[in-house]
Structure 1
Amino acid sequence: MLCKVPFREAMALGFLMNTKGLVELIVLNIGKDRKVLNDQAFAILVLMALFTTFITTPIVIAIYKPARKGAPYKHKTIQRKDHDSELRILACFHSTRNIPTLINLIESSRGTGKKGRLCVYAMHMMELSERSSAIAMVHKARNNGLPIWNKIERSTDQMVIAFEAYQHLRAVAVRPMTAISDLTSIHKDIITSAHQKRVAMILLPFHKHQRADGTMESIGHGFHEVNNRVLQRAPCSVGILVDRGLGGPSQVVASEVAYKVVVPFFGGLDDREALAYGMKMVEHPGITLTVLKFVAAKGTLKRFEESAPDEKEKKEKETDEEFVRELMNDPRGNESLAYEERVVESKDDINATLKSMNKCNLFVVGRTAAVVSLVHSSDCPELGPVGRLLSSSEFSTTASVLVVQGYDPAADTRPLVEEDANYDQSSKDISEFTV
């Protein structure tokens, strides 16, 4: 406490330092052999060594809980009333394969001038293995208390150089960081960093990448589980990026950015957050945004007369309508924004409408859109009913997809980090509704 360590941390550190190990017992045995300690003193000291060691765990657990809920902050979503406020994004990536699309997406999200202030924390997720090189990198990163990217050796990290070069060319603050951890626990680093940096959205790479023939190939089940855990525990909005080469294999110059972005809107919290992100992108002069609002046909609504919507559903629908009205009056879109309403009677109509737009560069869609599943089966429920269709090889091989999960403060009752045993596999399933 004299060194300004907080009380809880100081108390926990004191109990941890009071534990006794094998060296303590060896010293006591030497003392007894040399007649420094009699049998009574030896027995007392051995019992005290065992007692203080065993009592440490329950005491530390009781007084020190790093997983307790963190202090709240204001901007946890893209959707906000103050459009002039700084937007903070935690962009995660596995390898150099993700970097060009990620930088092009950041470039598209930066807006213009002071109103488009953007701060990006670029996190390189590295799996900690038993190889000595990975262990050495951890020690190198922690030896002097400085992050690995601040050392002289950072020039050898090509991934960091790419983001540093982009920062110098654009009015975007980029803070590279590296998370070296086991895949079973790296989600804790992501969640904790997102809270500490007070970000509004976490961007995660999809656990599959596109091969030359257009099919999607998994890079590992571990990264799939990382995305699922982050979606469950994130303290802000989350976006999963299905990379199909947005802007090509290299960074696009700002003056050459010309992307067509489509936001399918079915209603709900996630769709509103996806649309808010699309409105952020349309501030860029090279972005054209098309908003497709799907409306159920009147004949379709009659089929569901018996199951009348409850008060919560009515309030949700009113919120959607108000949000769309604000969108139509938003001056940010100008001539780059197109709004269309499509009346649909079945999921075949939805499929046909979406496929008519599959030549665009990027789809931004809500994760739990209020629509039935548009594909028969999928091993990626975290993408939601619409995201699963848009990310399939049969739909498109050129359009990237950003699946957005909006932050719901009412559902955020968990601590920042929980034990892995609490991770329920069945909770990954997505609730799907009918248009």
Structure 2
Amino acid sequence: MIIISPMNISSMWELQYILRLVVAREVWCFLNDGHPHGSLGNITQTKPNVSGKLWRFLMSENKALVKKLLTGASLIMYAQDDWHLQTEAPPTKGKLSLLTPSQCAAAPMPEYVVKGLLSKGNIGCIIGAPGVGKSLFAPYLAYRVARGERVCGMRTKQGTVFYVAAEDEAGMRGRVRVLRSEYEDTDSFFLVGGLADLLQKNSPDLKALRSEVKTHEPCLIIIDTLSLAFPGLEENSADGMGRVVAVARLLASRGAAVLIVHHDTKDGSSGLPRGHSLLNGALDMSLYLKISSNRNQCKIIRGTLTKNRNGSCDQDITFKICVHNFGNDDDGDPITIPYAVEVHGDEANREVKLPKSEKALLAILTEVLDQQDGLDVGISADILKKVAMAGDKVSSSDIVDNRRRTYGNAIKGLIEKKCISEIDGKYHLYSESDEAISEFDTIMKA
């Protein structure tokens, strides 16, 4: 609800302009008879197509509410979908605040959610290519906040967390299962499922989500992912991305930090979120995830802060992907679920030098995994060999046998250096838990 006093309306033209915006947005409007530019009757005579709406509403059973609202105000606008009012308020004179240096010094600091990274009311984004681990690190961060435990060395303020699983809800339930197993249970983490569309006007999902936010008052809300939570969004449109920002601000208005999981641009070189620049401009924090070129190149994922209004962009945010084994399914196959584990010190910084052929093959494997979003399930040996042999990056020899030999040596070298692993005929980016899985398979086959 927005209340506009007589001092903010300098002419009848402004008032009529406001009413035209109001009608376009199907917003109810009331005018106090005490307005210096005329009464309700004057306005209805000037704008007949408005009068019907105004008169019917004023004469409805809401007369008592109208009287109460009109007390001390000249113009009151009410919308069922009030996000429009937050982003498209009528033109009025701004309300400036003038603060002296001493008043600035005395103003309270924003309450942090993750110290030096996220504060209450912030809007942030986790960005990266498909398969890099965005939807592994995001629930890990959320779970640590829900338990009030440090994440990547940063303090967290314990509080309720909403994780909106708009993409792969079933898979996210499994990942939460792993987090509960690895880091104990918590009643402050809520996986929000069933959400299909925050984009449409008067979205029932947004209404339901806002109701739950009001009830539980979370300190952190994560939306995973932007593209699935806002289906049909024109990402390159200012209006479309403006809707995303408006929804995020609306959810953050009750004090929560809102974190959106999103893809990076096509070339991935700038670490910016995909789509219109309006989103990046509205962010308080932007974390870009990329497979590191350090030790076990594809094992280590490093986060680079491209924007941080709460602290330094030099925070060390590094993790690896491990796999938790939950036994076997009905077919006897192992049930494995990936999860993020922080990496510190030497493990994050130590490098292994790879020959040209091994480096090229590792890059090919990583690229194929990214394209197929298959970081968790691996790539079959036949597919990897076919892709690698089709080009000249692994071997430039014209002799087929030499190319095969170079490919075989590169595979062997990457496995020995623990850059990749082979499980059930598929190649994966190496994880320490791969050894446990291989040992388990060996025992079962014995």
TM-score range normalised by the length of the shorter chain: 0.3 to 0.5
Q: What TM-score do the two structures reach when normalised by structure 2?
A: 0.32
Q: Which has the larger radius of gyration?
A: 2
Q: What TM-score do the two structures reach when normalised by structure 1?
A: 0.32
